[in-house]
Structure formats: C-alpha cells, structure tokens
Amino acid sequence: MATDGDSRQHKRSKGRCCNFLFLLFDQKKKKKITGLGVMGQHATATAGPSSSANNMQDTRLYKEIAASEGLLLLPAQLKELGIFDYPELSLHSNPLDDNEEEGRTGRGGLQGLSSLRRLEISGCPKLLASYSSSSSSCYFPFPNSLEYLCLEGKVGTEALVPLSNLSSLATLILLDCDLRCEGLLSLITQGHLTQLCCLSLPNVFVGSESSQLHDLDLPSRSSKLKELSLHIDDVDGFTATPICSLLCSSLTKLEFYGDRQVECFTEEQETPLLANSLEEIRFVGCDSLQYLPARLHTLHNLKTLHLDFYSSQLRSLPDVLPSSLQKLSIQGCHGILSLPDPLPSSLQELCIKNCSGIRPLPDRLPSSLQELVIKDCEKMQSLPKDGLPSSLQKLEISSCPAIRSLPKVDDLPSSLREIDVILSGSEELIRQCRNLIGIIPIVKA
C-alpha cells in the first residue's frame, strides 16, 4: 500500500527500518482506511512462551482481520509518524487484544508504537471518536514514549482525553482542534513539557483539573517548567483561567497570536502574563491593540520584542523600552509615526518593515547596533542625521524610494560588512553603493 507522499522520505524510511512514516490522503483508499493497527501487537501483548509457528499464524490472522476492518498496519519500531487528511480514520483497538480478564481492554490507540518519539496528525476529524464515552477516560490514546505531539483540526470527541502518561513529552502543539486535555497539569508541573502552542483552542485549559490548582504550591510547581512558548489567541479568556499564573510564572518566550479583540492590557491581565523571566515577546495579528503593556519596560531580561500587526491602531511605542532589549522588529504598524528616542543602549538588531507612517529614524542610533533593516517604508526619507552606529555590520534597505543616499565613505563605520540596496527603489542610492564595491566586503546593488 503506497501511502508515502514523498519518494525521498519513503526511501529514507526503508533505509532506516521504517523509523519514519508519513501518510497522506489517498482518494482511492478513502473508504478503506478507517483505523490504525500495529504489526505484532498481539504477540507482544500476550504473556507466556509461544512457538514461531503460532506467532506467524497470529500475524496472518491479524492481517486478515485488519484488512477486513480497514486497518492500516504500522511497523512497531516507528520513531516518527505523520498522518494527514484521512477523514474516516479513527484509532481502533486491536481486534485480537480485547480480553478484559487478562487486563487488555482493546482501547490501546497507538500504544503498540512503543518507540514513537514524534507524532503529527492533521485532517482526521474522527481520530478520537472511540474515546467519546466517559468509560474511555482511563485509556491513553498515545504511547508513553512521545516527545513531540502536534494535532491540527477536529479530533472527534468533546470528552476529556487523558495525556498524563506522556511524561517524556517536550512539545505539545494543538491547532484549531476541539481537544480537551486531561493530565495537562501534571505534564506542566511534573513532566518535561517545554513548549506549548495553542491556537484557537478555547477549552484546552477548561476541565476538572482547574480545582486542583488551589491546592498547589505554585512557586515550587512552576519551577518544573523550563522554556515554554505559549501562543495565545484569546488574552481575556486565558488570563481568566486559574492555570494562567502557573503557565506564565517561568516563561522565557510568550507570543500573543491573532487576538483581534484586545485593545489594551489591564493590570489584572499583565500581572500573570508578564513574568520577569521573559526573554522574548511577540505580538502577531493583534490588529485592535492600541497600547503595549504598561509594565513592558520593567522586564529586565527581555531581549526580543516583535510586533507584526498590519493595522493602524497602535499609534506609538512606549517612551521607555526594556534596558536589556537586543532585538526590535516592527512590521505592519502603520499608525506608528516615530520610534522612541533614545532606543535602548543594548539594542543590536533593528528591523522595520511595512510601516508607512514612520518618516524619520532617531537622530542617533545606539552604538551597540549591528544590523539595520528597513523595508517597505515609503515615507522614510533619510538615515539618521548623526550617521550610522560605529558597530554596524549589516545595512539593508528595500522598497524605500525616498532614501536616496548614504553617508560619505569616510563617515561609514569601519565595522560595516554588508550593504544590500538592490531592491531599494532608488537608482541614486544604488549607484552610490556600487561605488563601494571593493571597499565594503559584500555589496548588493
């Protein structure tokens, strides 16, 4: 059965004993593939000695039953598995491994893949349909060995799905799916979870575990977290959940993604969200946001601030940015007319893209600045009046036709290694930069 969507990946999978397998939707198999099974699962689950002849007989019988029930058999040694666009696929129990007297309930999901480390599933709306009843809440659909789990789209159940067995899980990504997790709290406080990404998933933090938070010693529990990346698309709803303080207490990276309702942050929202440990904050698609958090300047470990809006609602940046800031990226913020002056003395990278309102840069940029990128800023007319920073190594200007000149050669910083103006939109600037070929190591003009 040819289900691999990439021939090179298929060859690699064969060459490594089927360690990697990616299943893409096959129109011809649409009605046939309704479940997944694991080769040899019956043999490994049955206790006691057995002859090779019996094992072969069991395997043949299992394959016959698998074929009749539309099961796709997977090699037990898989380490990575991707399943994409199988609308009828549901995790089935092993039809030969359903003996309650022997403790095998048949609701094993992918438990037979005991070596699986990475699992990605998308477009399988019936994936967990068999886990819809309350009696299935004690059965784990995914193997304990998982370190990376990504689920995208609906999964076919509104019941709580147990994940507490995934003690090795480091990355959990849930995208636009209806999954409600049971055991997430234990993964956060006792497991190895370091990255959590939730997009358009309002119920992921709503469940029976919420009541347990009141009994936790949050400072000691939060220390279990390492580096957690949390994507938020409902700031108000998220900060209202009891788990918010626990999640954010030791964050190093926080991303607000796609919340088009929030206009500003209240003090009640800022307090749990803005942990002193934060090193990176990204605001993406928050097109109604008018003000950045007031406490932003107090984050003394913050190194990266990224704004990507495509709106005119945000009119200005705070007058004072964190003194530790090393990278500032602003994109699509059409309402911003100028940058704070002065910028933090620690700043190393400044990137301004598609900001139609910004006309001048500050007269003096920080001497620490190493990279300056300006793109699609049609109203920006010139570079800083006091010249370029002495530590600047890279300068890129693209689609900024009003910027027509650089400082004189003698006034360019000796540290400058690369100039890219090939798409600047200014012929005058391009001609000037071509004269720097042989003087500056890399010139793109």
Mean pLDDT, rounded, for 6-18 = 41
Question: Quick one: pLDDT at residue 314?
Answer: 93
**What is the predicted pLDDT for the residue at 370?**
99
For range 123-147, the mean pLDDT: 79
- Is the confidence at residue 2, as pLDDT, over 60? no
CB-based burial of residue 52 (10 Å sphere; 0-12 exposed, 13-18 middle, 19+ buried)? exposed
pLDDT over threshold 80, residue 111: yes
Which of 146-160, 321-335, 338-352, 369-383 comes out lowest in average pLDDT?
146-160
Residue 220 pLDDT greater than 60, yes or no: no
**381 domain-assigned:** yes
pLDDT score, position 206? 56
- In the chain, pLDDT over 70 holds for what percent of residues? 73
Q: What is the pLDDT of residue 159?
A: 76
Residues 86 and 195 in one domain: no
Among 50-59, 209-218, 282-291, 367-376, the range scoring the smallest mean pLDDT is: 50-59
Query: In this structure, is residue 161 part of a structural domain?
Result: no
Residues 329 and 427 in one domain: no
Query: Which residues span the domain enclosing 363?
Result: 359-445
In the predicted structure, residue 279 carries a pLDDT above the cut 50: yes
Q: Which of 351, 367, 397 is the last residue of a domain?
A: 351
Highest mean pLDDT among 172-186, 227-241, 271-285, 321-335: 321-335
Output the six-digit token pair for 383: 């570079």
For residues 138 and 233, membership in a common domain is answered with no
Provide the number of structural domains found in the chain: 3
Residue 403 shares a structural domain with residue 306? no
How many angstroms separate the most distant Cα atoms in the chain?
87
Per residue, the 3-state secondary structure of the chain, as one string, reads: CCCECCHHHHHHHHHCCCCEEEEECCHHHCCCCCEEEECCHHHHHCCCCCCHHHHHHHHHHHHHHHHHCCEEEECCCCCEEEEECCCCCEECCCCCCCEHHHCECCCCCCCCCCCCCEEEEECCCCCCHHHCCHHHCCCCCCCCCCCEEEEECCCCCCCEEECCCCCCCCEEEEECCCCEEECHHHHHHHCCCCEEEEECCCCCCCCHHHHHHHHCCHHHHHCCCCCCEEEECCHHHHHCCCHHHHHHCCCCEEEEECCCCCCCCCHHHHHHHCCCCCCEEEEECCCCCCCCCHHHHHCCCCCEEEEEEEECCCCCCCCCCCCCCCEEEEEEECCCCCCCCCCCCCCCEEEEECCCCCCCCCCCCCCCCCEEEEECCCCCCCCCCCCCCCCCCEEEEECCCCCCCCCCHHHCCCCCCEEECCCCCCHHHHHHHHCCECCECEEEC
Q: What is the mean pLDDT of residues 319-338?
A: 96
Examine the domain organization and report whether 442 and 309 are in the same domain.
no
Instruction: Check whether residue 339 and residue 365 sit in a common domain.
Output: no
- Give the pLDDT band (50/70/90) at residue 273: confident
Averaged pLDDT for residues 214-233: 56
Is the pLDDT reported for residue 401 higher than 90? yes
Pairing of strands 71-74, 35-38: parallel
At 104, is the pLDDT very low, low, confident or very high (cuts 50, 70, 90)? very low
pLDDT exceeds cutoff 70 at 67: no
Which whole number is the average pLDDT over 12-31? 54
pLDDT above 80 (res 164): yes
Q: Would you state the structure tokens that stand for residue 250, as one six-digit string?
A: 């030791």
Whether 38 and 129 map to the same domain: the answer is: yes
Q: Which residues contact 125 (CB under 8 A, 6 or more apart)?
A: 87, 153, 154, 155, 156
Contact 78, 115 (CB under 8 A): yes
Which residues make Cβ contacts (< 8 Å) with residue 386, sequence separation at least 6? 363, 364
pLDDT > 60? residue 297: yes
The stretch 424-442 carries a mean pLDDT of 96
Residue 2 vs residue 376, higher pLDDT = 376
294 is a domain residue: yes
Q: Does residue 177 sit within a domain?
A: no
CA distance 360 to 358: 6
Region 319-324: mean pLDDT is: 96
Rounded to an integer, the average pLDDT of 404-429 is 95
The confidence band for 215, taking pLDDT boundaries of 50, 70 and 90, is low
Contact 22, 84 (CB under 8 A): yes
Which of 312, 330, 351 is the last residue before a domain boundary?
A: 351
Question: Does residue 245 sit in the same domain as residue 342?
Answer: yes
**CATH number of the structural domain spanning residue 283:** 3.80.10
The mean pLDDT value for 34-59 works out to: 53
Asked if residue 175 belongs to a domain, the reply is no
Using an 8 Å Cβ cutoff, are 113 and 143 in contact?
A: yes
377 and 324 within one domain = no
Same domain, 315 and 279: yes
The β-bridge relationship of strands 253-257 and 229-232 is: parallel
Q: 167 lies in a domain?
A: no
* Confidence class for position 133, pLDDT limits 50, 70, 90: low
Residue 104: CA count within 13 A, CB half-sphere? 18
C-alpha distances out from residue 216 to 74, 180, 278, Å:
41, 21, 23
In a domain, 159, yes or no: no
* Last residue in a domain, options 326, 351, 376: 351
Nearest to 14 by CA among 2, 25, 24, 29: 2
User: Cα separation of 231 and 154, whole Å?
Assistant: 19
| Amino acid at position 295, single letter | R
Average pLDDT over all residues of the chain: 80
Please state the rounded mean pLDDT for residues 409-425. 96
Collect all residues with Cβ–Cβ distance below 8 Å to 247 and sequence separation of at least 6: 188, 196, 225, 228, 230
Closest CA to 420 of 386, 399, 327: 399
Domain co-membership, 253 together with 215:
yes
Q: What is the mean pLDDT of residues 239-246?
A: 76
Strand partners, 439: none
**pLDDT above 90: residue 120:** yes
Distance CA(443)–CA(396), nearest Å, equals 10
* Structure confidence at residue 146 (pLDDT): 96
What pLDDT is stored for residue 255 in this prediction?
87
Tell whether 329 and 403 lie within a shared domain: no
Q: Checking phi first, is residue 109 left (phi over 0); if not, alpha (psi -120 to 50) or beta?
A: left
In a domain, 69, yes or no: yes
Residue 31 pLDDT? 55
φ, ψ of residue 228 in degrees (nearest 5)? -115, 125
Q: Is the pLDDT of residue 318 over 60?
A: yes
